[in-house]
């Protein structure tokens, strides 16, 4: 089924008519910090938070984000979580947003993490129960819908990169449009490259900058030619995963500590340990040396490989 889907995606991606949406996303809203603080606007009314959760799930799961026709079992599993830290009016909130996305591995019941990211704790947005969440890539309707849409396009890009060479290109370009539209408003933090090295801008920049093309190669080699081949040819699959890490290594030489490389390794490090624990010592040493170079903070998790 995955083989059939990849062929369909690569050949008729722009011609398909959509009857189903792409995401199967769970949303959680955590308002516990609001309950523990004294604020002018009471936060004990569960209705607004239940409404916020439902509105976001409908926004993500019921909207068409691509022109692909996915079957029910092919929908993309992801989750969004918002921890609310502050409520300054009936409709103004501030908090922290977390995203995760998973991908099935061919011919197995295993799912692998693709994206796992926690934003800083100053995500500000307006939510009004009486108004639906609107979105258009060229119009800024609100920070909540634009931020979620931006990360959905980043997720789509990574997801399809993992199935075909440069498969996610068009989705990264959509993320660029969302980012530019939101930044032009200059109303909310998080969109401008000058703010920090973790501004939303940088995920888009990392995946659209030709100097970092190895990112796309790494996602494809690691997943389609690596994990998806594990049940067929484990030694070759491991070699392809090593090649994926080497592609990240080349990106790191161009720009050390790139946000997207860090995110890749942080998500995959436990899985990498599991894959290479039964591998030959030479492979373990190669993996250790690559991780030591591109993500030194994670080398402790590979300490048993270091002595090989």
Q: Report the share of the chain in percent with pLDDT over 90.
A: 76
Residue 81, sorted as left (phi over 0), alpha (psi -120 to 50) or beta, turns out to be: beta
Task: Dump pLDDT digits (tens) for 131-151.
Answer: 889 999 999 999 999 999 999
Q: Would strands 123-126 and 76-87 be described as parallel, antiparallel, or unpaired?
A: unpaired
Residue 226 has pLDDT above 80, yes or no: yes
Residue 1 has pLDDT above 80, yes or no: no
DSSP per residue over the chain, as a string? -HHHHHHHHHHHTTTPPPSS-SEEEEEEEE-HHHHTS--SS----HHHHHHHHHHHHHHHHSS--SS----GGGSEEEEEEEEEEEE-SSSEEEEEEEEEEEEEPTTSS-EEEEEEEE--S-EEEE--TTS----BTTB---HHHHHHHHHHHHHHHHHHHTTSTTTTHHHHHHHHHHHHHHHHH--STTS-TTT-TTSTHHHHHHHH-GGGTHHHHHHHHHHTTTGGGTTT-HHHHHHHHHHHHHHHHHHHHHSTT-HHHHHHHHHHHHHHHHHHTTS-HHHHHHHHHHHHHH-GGGGGGGHHHHT-
Q: Report the pLDDT value the prediction gives residue 37, as an integer from 0 to 100.
A: 67
Query: What's the burial of 95, exposed, middle or buried (CB within 10 Å: 0-12/13-18/19+)?
Result: buried
Q: How confident is the model at residue 188 (pLDDT cuts 50, 70, 90)?
A: very high
Residue 6 has pLDDT above 90, yes or no: no
Task: Dump pLDDT digits (tens) for 204-222.
Answer: 999 999 999 999 999 999 9
Q: Where are the domains of the chain?
A: 1-208, 215-308
Q: How confident is the model at residue 5 (pLDDT cuts 50, 70, 90)?
A: very low
Least confident among 36-40, 123-127, 269-273, 288-292: 36-40
CA 287, 292, 295, 297 dihedral sign is positive
Residue 112 has pLDDT above 60, yes or no: yes
Place of tokens 């969440």: 133
Task: Dump pLDDT digits (tens) for 9-31.
Answer: 444 343 333 445 899 999 999 99
Q: Report the pLDDT value the prediction gives residue 7, as an integer from 0 to 100.
A: 46
Give the tokens for residue 19.
Answer: 């009857």
Higher pLDDT, 6 or 157: 157
Residue 243 has pLDDT above 70, yes or no: yes
Q: Would strands 92-104 and 123-126 be described as parallel, antiparallel, or unpaired?
A: antiparallel
């Amino acid at each position: 089924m995955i083989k059939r889907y990849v062929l369909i995606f690569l050949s008729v991606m722009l011609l398909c008519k959509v009857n189903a949406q792409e995401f199967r996303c769970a949303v959680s809203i955590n308002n516990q910090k609001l309950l523990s603080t004294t604020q002018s606007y009471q936060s004990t009314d569960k209705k607004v938070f239940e409404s916020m959760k439902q509105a976001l799930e409908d926004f993500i799961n019921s909207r068409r984000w691509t022109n692909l026709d996915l079957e029910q079992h092919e929908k993309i599993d992801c989750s969004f979580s918002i921890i609310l830290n502050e409520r300054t009016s009936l409709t103004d909130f501030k908090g922290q947003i977390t995203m995760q996305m998973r991908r099935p591995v061919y011919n197995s019941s295993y799912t692998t993490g693709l994206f796992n990211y926690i934003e800083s704790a100053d995500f500000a947005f307006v939510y009004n129960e009486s108004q639906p969440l609107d979105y258009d890539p060229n119009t800024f309707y609100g920070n909540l819908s634009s931020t979620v849409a931006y990360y959905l396009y980043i997720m789509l890009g990574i997801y399809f990169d993992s199935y075909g060479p440069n498969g996610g290109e068009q989705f990264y370009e959509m993320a660029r449009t969302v980012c530019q539209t939101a930044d032009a408003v200059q109303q909310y933090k998080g969109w401008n490259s000058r703010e920090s090295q973790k501004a939303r801008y940088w995920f888009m920049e990392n995946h659209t900058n030709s100097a970092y093309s190895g990112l796309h190669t790494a996602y494809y080699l690691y997943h389609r030619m690596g994990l998806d081949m594990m049940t067929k040819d484990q030694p070759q699959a491991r070699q392809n995963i090593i090649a994926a890490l080497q592609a990240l290594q080349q990106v790191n030489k161009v720009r050390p500590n790139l946000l997207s490389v860090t995110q890749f390794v942080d998500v995959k490090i436990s899985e990498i340990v599991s894959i290479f624990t039964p591998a030959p010592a030479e492979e373990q040493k190669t993996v250790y040396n690559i991780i030591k170079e591109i993500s030194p903070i994670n080398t402790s998790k590979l300490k048993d490989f270091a002595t090989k």
